[in-house]
Structure formats: structure tokens, C-alpha cells
Structure 1
Amino acid sequence: MKMKKMINTKQLEVIKVAPLNSKSISEISLPLTYFDTPFLLGSPTEMLFFYSLPNIEITLFMNSLLPKLKHSLSLTLQHYYPLVGNLVWPPQSNQPFIKYAHGDTVTLLVAESTANFDHLSSKTYTRYANDFQHLLPQLAVQSTNSSNAVPLVALQITLFRNSGICIGLTQPHAAGDGRSVAMFLKSWSLNSHLETITTYLSNEQSLLIPFFDRTVVKDVSIRFQEAYFQQLVEFIRSKYSMSEHDCKNWLLASMEDLKVPADHIAASFELTGADISRLRKWVSSRSSARTSRFVLVCAYIWVCLAKATKFKTTRDDDREGLMKTSSVLSFGDYRTRLDPPLPPTYFGNCVGEIVVSTKRGDLVGENGLVVAVNLIVKEIRGLDNALVRDVDPGLAHFLFPNGDVGEFDVIAGSTQFGFYELDFGWERPKKVELASIAKTRAIFFADSRNGNDGVEISLVRCKDEIDAFGLSFVNGLNGLSDMNQGRNSRI
């Protein structure tokens, strides 16, 4: 293997961006809900958006593009001002909360990279996950003797001369889920087209004004938040050997805990709209279950993971492995499932776990995809029927896997976020990366850049695991082709 070329990054500027007309914005404190609390120990969300600009040079970037991005960000933060604040846990408070105060700003780091833009924004299997780290902004945690203040967002814009631009975002997951992140970024991208206009004009923009009121999340018995918070404190005390008082300093330590393995590579796979149609046709011929894109994608990923284990084994007889439990955890949006439902623009975490399990042998068999689809559909139907009044949405399996689920793979993402629709004036991104999956090992999926109802699937693993997943992925699609040609198929 060739030695990797050293990547040099030059810091050009550090900008502190305040909301437009910040003096007229009231200070605010927002409590965490039982949807937010389980994510306090989660890795921050880290996203990268690569935009191809073959003729970009530093003068144009600094004098034209950057001022426009800064202004549009300030305009966006006028409506998303709690994001300018911090996650804090003062000594006098029983629980951490979000606080925005006058003078708070968002840090926007401007940098230049000598890395190969086309390589980093490609879909090749030779991109080391560590190569993305210099494009990610760091959360500048402010520490005191008694507590820490964690910024709710940090941003970085990196120039690749004569190649393109990368926008990087880092956000503590407790601040908001994927839908919330998508709302903020879409609002920023739309405002970047407004030149000097300082108000929202279009209907599309008005639909992106966030709703921050946490009182609409009703914890009927108060048991969820208290139970999760106590679990959280006990977990922190045990893991970091802290006293209950010192737990208020846990924020910084928890975010430094996860590292990116040096040998892990990032890979992307695509299910085209035609692939998904063929998957739906194959399942429909064997099951009456309703097969949405979300269900089909999660089920296909799960089957590919189960089969990838088979490809990694060197034994012909894998009966013991086939009897082991295979589990996946994904997330369902609860905004419309609560009673009463939340506004679609609610900003924060409002997702609950979808955990499905079965023997691996059931997934690698002839009807493995049908088994996976039926299990996922049943779990989602259970969420819809429960109205989520008495259902535990605390992701206990995700953070505290002490039950009978055992090890599981996490599938994160949605086909509804529209990350490939983010246009800051340079057309659609060439590549979108959820860089934090390098730390969490989650599998991320989103709408494909190519459109046509396609889905892009991304994961970070060592090369052997990527090769095994890729083989099961391709073989499954080839099996669909065999079906169309009249031959027996197994996927």
C-alpha cells in the first residue's frame, strides 16, 4: 500500500457570527426533553458537503463567496438563535439545559486544504476516514471549575483551490435530530441566494422557521426524563469514576472519547430508483406488507450485513453463526405520532427507536428480505398504533444495551431530509458525508445525488468488512436480475 500523502491545512480566518439584529432577540433557556437526554452521551453529528467549483481561487472565495455565506448565516441564525447558545450544566441546576445569552456567537472557521478534492468527494473505496477529520470544525468547549459550556453548532468552510469548497458542520446530538439539522442547513442555503435582503420572503422559507417550545413534548407521568437522566448519571459515574457532583463536568470528556480507527475507509453504495422498484416487486410477490422506501432500504441493508458475516467466515459449516441473533436499530420520527402531534418544524430531538431482531439464518435464507421487511413493518405499525403516549422513546437499547437485544447495527438517515438539495449558489453537492459514522459505526442513508428516487448508503469499516458488505450488496441486486430473466433468485 502506498504511503498516504501528507495533508496540509491552512487556517485563513476565524469568524464569530451573531444572529442578525441580535440585540432585539431575548435571552432564552430551553430544557432538554426525554427525547434529548439519551443523546447526551452520543457522538456529535458531523457532516460534510462537497461542492465542485473547478475555477475557484482564493480572491474570489474571500471577497465574494465568503461574505455572502457569512451574511446568509447571520440571517438564518436570527430565526435559529438558540443554536447560537450553549449546552450548560451549572452547579445550581439538577439537569443540563440549552441557554442563549446576548453576546453568544457561532464560530465559523475558514481554512484552505491541499488534499485532493476529487478523491475525497468520490465514491472510491480508498478514502481513509481519517482524511476527512481536518475538514470538521471542533466544538470549542468553555470549561470552568464547576461546569462546561458546549456550543450547539460549529461550522467550517474549506477551500480547495481550483477544485471546490467543503462545508463542515459539528453539532452535539442532544441539540437536534437529523430533521432539525436539515432544516437549519436548508434555511441557510436558501438565504444564501438573497443578497442583502434581510427577511424571509418565500413560502418555502417560511416553512423552515423553527419551533423551539419544549412544553409541547408532554411527559405524561414524568417518568421518562427522570428515569433516563438517572441512568445517564449512573453511567457517567461508572465510566469516568466521577462523583455525582463532578458529573457536571462530563460533557468535555464524553466528546473526546470516540476515535476514528486509522485503517477504516469510507465507502458508498447506491440503490437506484429502478433497484428499489425491483426490490419492492420481489417482496410484493411474497408478502402483503406495505413496503415504503424506508422499509426496503433498512431491510436490504440488514440482509446485506447478515450475508457479509458469511463472506468473512473461513468455515464451510457456519451453523453456529446462523443461530446467532442479528439485530438492527433505526429511528422513527415521532413528531406526527405524539398525542397531540408536534409541529413539523419542531427543532430538537423527536425520534424513537425501531429495534428488530431475528436469527441470522433467517436473513441469509431464500426469503431473507421478506423476513426483514415483515419485522420492520410490524415494529413501525406498533409505533403508529401506540400514539406514543405510553411508549418508551428513550433509545434505551441505543445507549444502555443491557437487555436481550445484544449487539446490533445502527442504521441512521432518511430519504426525506434532502441533503443533496442544498444549493448555496453552486448547484447541488457533489458528495455528502455523515463523517461521524466513522466513530459510531452507524450506517447512513440519504437520497441519492442522482435523484430518480435512488438512495445512497454510506458506511465506514476496515477494508475486509467493506469488501464483504459490497459483495453481498452486489450479489443481492444480481439476484433480482436473475429473477427478471426467469431463473431462481435468492436475495
Structure 2
Amino acid sequence: MASNNSVNILEVCRVNPLPSSLASATPSSLPLTFFDILWLRFPPVERVFFYETPPTNATFLNSIVPKLKHSLCLTLQNFLTLAGNIIWPPESHKPIISYKEGDAVSLTVAESNANFYHLSGNNFVEAVEYHPLVPDLATSHEHAPVLALQVTMFSNCGFCIGITAHHTVLDGKSLTMFRKLWAHLCKLGGNALSLVPELIPSFDRMVIKDPAGIEAIYLNQLLNLDGPHNKSLKVWEQKTPPNVVRGTFELTRTKLEKLRQLMTSILGENNNQEQPVHYISKLTLTCAYTWVCLAKAERQRVNNLICLWINADARPRLEPPMPDNYFGNCLTGCAAIAERNDLLGEKGVAVAVKAISEAIRSLDYVVLKGAENWLSLLLNVKKDNISDGVPEIAGSPRFELYNTDFGWGKPVKVELISIDKTGGICVSDSRDGTGGIEIGLFLKKREMEVFASVFAKGLEVL
């Protein structure tokens, strides 16, 4: 029995898609679009779901794990490429996702002696403590697996499910489709696809248009990276910075509504009533408030202008709009920019709301503006250590993470592990399901303590 820090590996198995006529409608290979190629060398997405279902060893191994395996087999009928690999055939001008019979998803079964309630609570936790709970996605220069899973039991407390997914193959919305269908089939048992048609993916790559030749630009940059004709598929290994902790915070529905009223009033006054203030979404309010608190926690930094990168779903913004169930990457983004002194001022949150709102609205008109430069920008950030770069908003409350019920109740905690390597502020629905938004981030411990104090103090006046 091997060990990995506080985790003992009980089994590593390969889960194949269950043979079915449904699988014949699922493509066994897919070309990458420029939306996908953008992420070819970047670290995978890692997420962990904690479930407080105290199992015995026998229950875990004889009931929970077999149900997860069987429902995974059923789910993969509709997601064959998740069991495959990314390859770059010699005759192909670009990489492809390839599935062949016998390919499978790696599923690790483990047990941990770590404190379940410490990891699944809202206290500060050293970032590296979560790493043993997500499986590695071992890539090489020749091929890269798409998905790896891990189920870890905590003695008499509960268990967690760790998901590691290659960003080149899917974005958050696509991963949500897979996760929801897997949970649905596990909870209900059998094949209940007719109940969830919105979770059946569309793999039609013809809907992606590239009149500006963005794909060719990205491929040329990758082929000339670290030497000519470089077709390497090995992802860069990003290190978690030392002495950083993860923290979880929440803006409740009530606080968000009070914050909206305050911001609408302030922006209305500043606007001199020349035009009505647009409705301010919960997500915009959350991003703005978090951005300001972060600026105050990192007060020692001296940059005049600071930036917040916001990822957004491009599916509804493209012309014509893409199917909501399109499977793959389809992300765009925008930068909100403000002067640090303005964010630190009395009306800092209103300044942040305005900057974020204007950035998001710009996507409705220029959804792919500057897309030809996205990869070069990411490469420059990576070169300078991506975790110290511009903070970005990752995740979305629309993913409904806390509704992920495999049959043993909803998760008590969900963590996006990969943000401590790639940099980011994770936003999601709140665990109590009352309409609030949960925020997850990582900082050095002292900065996290200042952030927590500023975050709490600002809410006292609402």
C-alpha cells in the first residue's frame, strides 16, 4: 500500500465507457479549436468535493466506490473523449483529442488520516494540504490524458471526490455537464438520460468560426516555443508559492442586496442622473467587493493601475450564438482596470463596480477583441510566474457546485485546488443554497488575515 503524505492509495483502476449504442453517436476523436489550443500547455483544472457521509471501510469500498464506478461508466458513454488522450499526429497540423477502444479514465481510491472538518471548514488551511486529494494528470511530450479522478475516505467522517481535467479539452461549463450527469446517474441508478437532455453534449466543431486566423497564430507560437517544430504536449509544472493559505468567504443574499442598493445610490449620484444606472448583478458586486478587499490586503504593492481579469462564457455572445450544451472550450475575457488609490478610497467598491460593469458590457460588442494576442499574453504571465500575476475570476455561481449530489447528500465544501498554482479568485454558489456567493482565494497568511478583517469590517456597515 503506497502512501502520499497523509493519503494511502488503496487502488488505482481504469474505468472504461460502458459499451452502448449511445456511444456510437459520440465522436471518438475531435479537432481542437483556437479556444482549446490556447490552454494546451497550461496546468489542469483541479477541484475537490467534500461529502459528510460517515462511511465504514466496508460501506465505502463495497457500496460508495462501486456506485461511483458504474455511473462513471454510463456517463462516459456520452463523453468518450474524456477517456482518451490529446495527441499530435505527425500528419496533422494541429493536436486532436483521440479515443480508441480500451482507453479509460484513471480512478484512484484512497484513504486519508487528515482532519476532514479542518479541510472542509471555513478556517484558513495551508494550500498544499489539499494536494494529495486530487490525482495527477501525467502528461508527456507525446500525449496527455484528459481526465483523472480520485475518491478519498476520511475515517468515520466522510469522503471527497477529486477531479483533475485538462483545460485544453473542456472549460468550466463543459466540466459541469459531465459532473452533473455523473452525479445524476449515480444518484438515480441506471440510464436516466431522458430526464436530463440539457446534459447531453454537442461536439459540433463547425459552429466555431475563425475568420481572423487565430488558430494559425496560436499554433505557430506553440510550434516555435522552446525551439522550432516543438509539438510537445507536456504541461508546464507550476509550483504553489510557499507559505500560502486558502480561505473561504461568503456574501449572503441579504448583504448582496444591501450592497446593490448602496452602489446604485452612489453611482446614481456620480452619474448626475444623465442616464439610468444599469442593474448590478450579484456576481459583479461580489467581484467588486472582493477586488477592493484584496487591494487593501496587498497595500504594500505600489502599482498605480491594477487589473482584474474576468473570464466569461462566449457561447451566447458569438454571432450566431452557440448551443448552450457545446462541449469544449468557449471562453472569452475582459480586463477591469482601476487606479489603486481610487479602489482604496471611500467609494472604492463603486469604482470597482463601474470598472467591472463596463468591461463585461464591452464583451457584448467585441467578444473576440484582441484574441490573436491571448496566448502571447498568457505566455508572458507564465514566464513571470503566473501565480503572482493579474488576479482572475474563476468559476461561476451558475455551475451550481453545491447541487452536486451523487446520492449521499450535497457537498459540505467545494474547493478549486488549481487556483493556488494558476492564480485566481474562485466564485461559486453558496453551500446553504439561499442565493449568496462563496469566494475562495489563496494568499500569504498575513495578507489573508488582513483580507478577512477588511472583508468582515466592510460588511458591518451594510
Q: TM-score, normalised by structure 2?
A: 0.91
Indicate the SS of the match to 1:460: strand
SS at 1:39 equivalent: coil
Aligned to 2:271: none
Pairs within 5 Å for 1:97-112: 97-112=96-111
Q: Which residue of structure 2 lines up, in the alignment, with residue 45 of structure 1? A: 45
Alignment partners' CA distance in 2, 1:83 and 1:345? 16
Unaligned runs of 5+ in 1: 1-5, 238-242, 314-320, 481-491
Cα-to-partner distance string for 1:242-261 (whole Å, 9 max, x where unaligned)? x323x223x32x34x21223
CA contact (8 A) 1:447 1:456 kept: yes
Contact 1:48 1:169 in 2 (8 A): yes
- Corresponding residue to 2:134 among 133, 136, 141: 136
Counterpart for residue 188 of structure 2: 194
Kept in 1, the 8 Å contact 2:309–2:390? The answer is yes
SS of 1:201's partner is helix
| Aligned ranges 1:321-340 → 2 under 5 Å | 321=302, 324-340=304-320
Letter in 2 for 1:214: R
Distance (Å, rounded) in 2 between the aligned partners of 1:108 and 1:17: 7
Cα deviation for residue 381 of structure 1 reads 1.5
- Compute the displacement of 1:478 (Å): 2.2
Contact map agreement 1:158 1:165 (CA 8 A) in 2: yes
1:431: Cα distance to partner? 0.5
Q: Which residue does 1:385 correspond to in 2? A: 365
1:183 to 174, 177, 188: 177
Q: Find the aligned partners of 1:365 and 1:397 in 2 and give their Cα distance.
A: 34
1:375 pairs with one of 355, 367, 375: 355
Structure 2 residue aligned with 1:306: 295
- Identical residues among aligned pairs (%): 42
**Partner of 1:268 in structure 2?**
248
- Tell me, in whole angstroms, the C-alpha distance in 2 between the residues paired with 1:339 and 1:164: 46
Number of aligned positions between the proteins: 442
Kindly indicate whether residue 113 of structure 2 is the aligned counterpart of residue 114 of structure 1. Answer: yes
- What is the identity, as a one-letter code, of the residue corresponding to 2:198? L
Task: Give the whole-Å Cα distance in 2 for the aligned partners of 1:18 and 1:106.
Answer: 7
RMSD after superposition:
2.1
Give the alignment of 1:462-473 within 5 angstroms: 462-473=444-455
Change (3 A) 1:347 1:465: same
Query: In structure 2, how many angstroms separate the alpha carbons of the residues matched to 1:344 and 1:398?
Result: 28
* Partner residue in 1 for 2:206: 215
Structure 2 contact 394–424 (Cα < 8 Å) conserved: yes
Among candidates 19, 22, 26, match of residue 21 of structure 1: 19
- Give the secondary structure class of the aligned counterpart of 2:408: coil
Match of 1:240 in 2: none
Whether the 8 Å CA contact 1:335–1:350 is kept in 2: the answer is yes
- Give matches, 1:144-159, under 5 Å: 147-159=141-153
Shift of 1:198: 2.9
Q: What is the CA–CA distance in structure 2 between the aligned matches of 1:60 and 1:442, rounded to whole Å?
A: 37
Q: Does the CA-based 8 Å contact 2:27-2:80 persist in structure 1? A: no
Deviation at 1:289, TM superposition (A): 3.2
The alpha carbon displacement at 1:409 in A equals 1.4
Deviations 1:54-100 (CA, angstroms, capped at 9, x unpaired): 2x111111111111111111111101111111111223322212111
Where 1:285 maps in the other structure, the secondary structure is helix
Q: What is the one-letter code of the residue matched to 2:207?
A: V
Runs of 4+ in 1 over 6 A off after TM superposition: none
In 2: Cα distance, 1:84 partner to 1:121 partner = 29
Distance change >3 Å, CA 22–CA 10, structure 1 → 2: farther
User: Distance between the aligned counterparts of 1:396 and 1:358, measured in 2?
Assistant: 24
Q: 2:85 maps to what in 1?
A: 86
Which residue identity lines up with residue 18 of structure 1 in the other structure? N
Structure 2 match to 1:36: 36
Q: Which amino acid aligns with 1:417?
A: F
Give matches, 1:371-450, under 5 Å: 371-386=351-366, 388=367, 392=371, 395-396=374-375, 399-401=378-380, 407-450=389-432
* Runs of 5+ consecutive residues of structure 2 not aligned to the other structure: 268-276, 382-387
**What amino acid sits opposite 1:51 in the alignment?**
Y
Q: Which moved more, 1:109-118 or 1:462-471?
A: 462-471
How far the C-alpha of 1:433 sits from its partner, in A, is: 0.3
Structure 1 residue 390: Cα displacement: 6.2
Please name the residue that 2:285 is paired with: 296
Quick check: 1:352–1:395 contact (8 Å CA) kept in 2? no
Q: 1:434 & 1:180 partners in 2: Cα distance?
A: 16
- For residues 176 and 373 of structure 2, what CA distance do their matches in structure 1 show? 22
The residue type paired with residue 188 of structure 1 is W
Look up the equivalent residue of 1:46 and give its one-letter code.
E
Task: Give distance in 2, aligned partners of 1:220 and 1:129.
Answer: 42
Distance in 2 of aligned mates of 1:301 and 1:225: 35
**Residue 385 of structure 1, CA deviation:** 2.6
Contact in 2 for aligned 1:327/1:407 (Cα 8 Å)? no
Per-residue deviation, 1:455: 0.8
Shift of 1:155: 0.3
1:279 alignment partner, SS class: helix
TM-score, normalised by the number of residues in structure 1? 0.85
1:229 aligned partner:
219
